[in-house]
Structure formats: structure tokens, C-alpha cells
Amino acid sequence: MGFGLRDPSAAMRDFLLQAGGCAVVDGGLATELEANGADLNDPLWSAKCLFSSPDLIRKVHLDYLMAGANIIISASYQATIQGFEARGFSKKESEALLFKSVEIACEARGIFQSSYRNGSYTVGADEASSRKQPILVAASIGSYGAFLADGSEYSGHYGKEVTLQTLKDFHRRRVQVLAESGADLIAFETIPNKIEAQAYVELLKENNIRIPSWFSFCSKDENDVVSGDSVLECTAIANACQNVVAVGINCTPPRYIQGLILTIRKATDKPIVVYPNSGERYDADRKEWVASTSICEEDFVSYVSKWSEAGASLIGGCCRTTPKTIRAIAEALSTVRSAPQSTSACD
């Protein structure tokens, strides 16, 4: 199913209704690719697999769908025309790889729906129960810092020479290509500052992009994104854009999510999407995740009902989360949906 040419906000509301009020977003892609044997020690990170091992990407998408995901996110987070060209691909080949990221996700959806009776799949402890599993494909767009591959996506500090126009010029063609790729929406992910959010809003308007999108910020606490910009200000920028059908947070420690949902709700009535990481910290120098305040999967999932009650209606995981995590989230949300007299956002 897709949003088509309908009113984006109405389409998202209908999608959430079909999903039972809360939708499940998939989990970490790159770390799951590594768990399946991929070597991602590369500036292209997960995008490397688009030409080295596309079948592995498809497998991970399917693993998340089988775990209960309603939304799978393409392997284009670090896929940029500039990055591919630096590896020797032509502009045409680079654009084809962007298209391929969405094609792989759509193929996985088709395989899953064909194998599991057009989207009906059983999740949760009670194998006798099943729910309709509407599925959307989101085309991922990572920040400028993700292209730099220097960890600045987790700080938002690009330097004074990087202006609003710099960011618009960098992202423009990728946004145009992914808007025409067949994805149901664009996921602008791990946005670290308000200037990049503003760049995305202006690009959507200037290029007459019709595909819906969500804006997902990376935060350092319950009030500010990683650059120090106010979450309220960042949310207001996203809220003012008609294309944006959800606003939220990703790749942020779980302990901050409930407070962030409450902060975001002050600036928008759009659906809120949250998909935190495991709580570990990314070391840009070592280029690896290191233990800090990480939590076990059981503790991670224990937050889900609280996030739903606080107002989140799209919930998943980011870096270092797995299909096991997503299955547990799907089961937790199933419980929330069926709870009598619930006050959660899933009602």
C-alpha cells in the first residue's frame, strides 16, 4: 500500500488506523548487516552493500517484516551521489544505486506479502492471533554529517563554511531521485541541527516534492538536539511543512525518549515517530559503538508502553537494535492496543 496522491496527513492517519493506532518501525540496518557478515568499514557504510551484497539488504528487510515491522527504511542513509562518485561511479550509476535502495525494500515487501497471505502475519505470544500488517517503504536520507563520515552527524557541527545553501546544494539531487523512486515516503533521519531541517523544508517546497516525509532528529537530552539547538525550534520547522506527516527522534538513548515526546508534542499535533538506539555511544575516532548507558532488550522494550502513552504512534529502533527487538516492540504494542480503557496514543 502507498500514500499515492492523497492528502499526506490524511493518508498517514489512515495508515495508522490500519496498523491498529500504532505502527512498528524497523530496527538497525547497518549493525544488522554486520551481524550477517557484511564488512562496513567504509565511508559508504551500509550503502556499500547496494553494490556488494544487495541480497543481504533484502534479507535484513525481510527479517524485520517477519518480526512485525510496518515500515522498512531503505539502505540509502549514507548513499549519496557525491559519495558514490568518490568511489568511481558515474552520476547516472550513482542515481541508479539510490533507486536500487528503494527497489530492494519494495522487493522485500512483495516477497513478504506474497509469502504471508497479502500482509497477514502473526506476532505476539498468542500464535492463534493475527493482525493486518500494512507496510510502507521509507526512503532514508541521512544528514550531511553522515556523508562526511567523521561523526559530525552526532554533533551537528559542520563549521561556519557550511551554509544553508551548501546543504541545499548537497541534498537537492538525492531528494529529487528518492522522491521518484517508488518509496511511500522519505525519512529524513538523524537530523542534528535546525539549519539542516530548514534546508530540507526549502528543498521540498522549491522542487515541488509531493511525496510525504518525516523528520527525525538526533538529541543529546530531553530538550536539545545534538548541536544544542532547541527541540521545540526544530519541531516547529518541521511542523510548518505540509509534506511532513510525522516528526520525531531517532538514534538517541532510550532514557530521553519519553521527555522528548512530551517536548515535541508542545510544538506539533502531527504523529510522533521514535526509534532510539540501544543507548550505546558512537566513537567517531574508533568508528565503533562503545558501551555507555546501554540497556538490555528487555529493558528497552519496557519503555514502549510509556512512549505510546506519552504520544508516540510510530515506534521502532535504530543502531544496535535487532529483529528480536522489533518483534518485542510489536508484541508490546499489540498488548497496548488490546488493553481495556487504555489512554495511550494507540487508541
Binding residue ranges for Zn(2+): 251, 318-319
CA distance 4 to 161: 39
How far, CA to CA in Å, does 94 sit from each of 48, 302, 323?
12, 41, 29
On the 0-12 / 13-18 / 19+ scale of CB atoms within 10 A, 279 is buried
Containing H/E element for 131?
Answer: strand 131-132
Residue 20 half-sphere exposure, CB side, CA atoms within 13 Å? 24
Amino acid at 291: A
139 close to 178: Cβ distance less than 8 angstroms: yes
Helix/strand/coil percentages in the chain, nearest 5 = 45, 15, 40
How far, CA to CA in Å, does 121 sit from each of 16, 33, 129, 139, 275?
17, 24, 9, 24, 22
Binding site membership: which residues? 251, 318-319
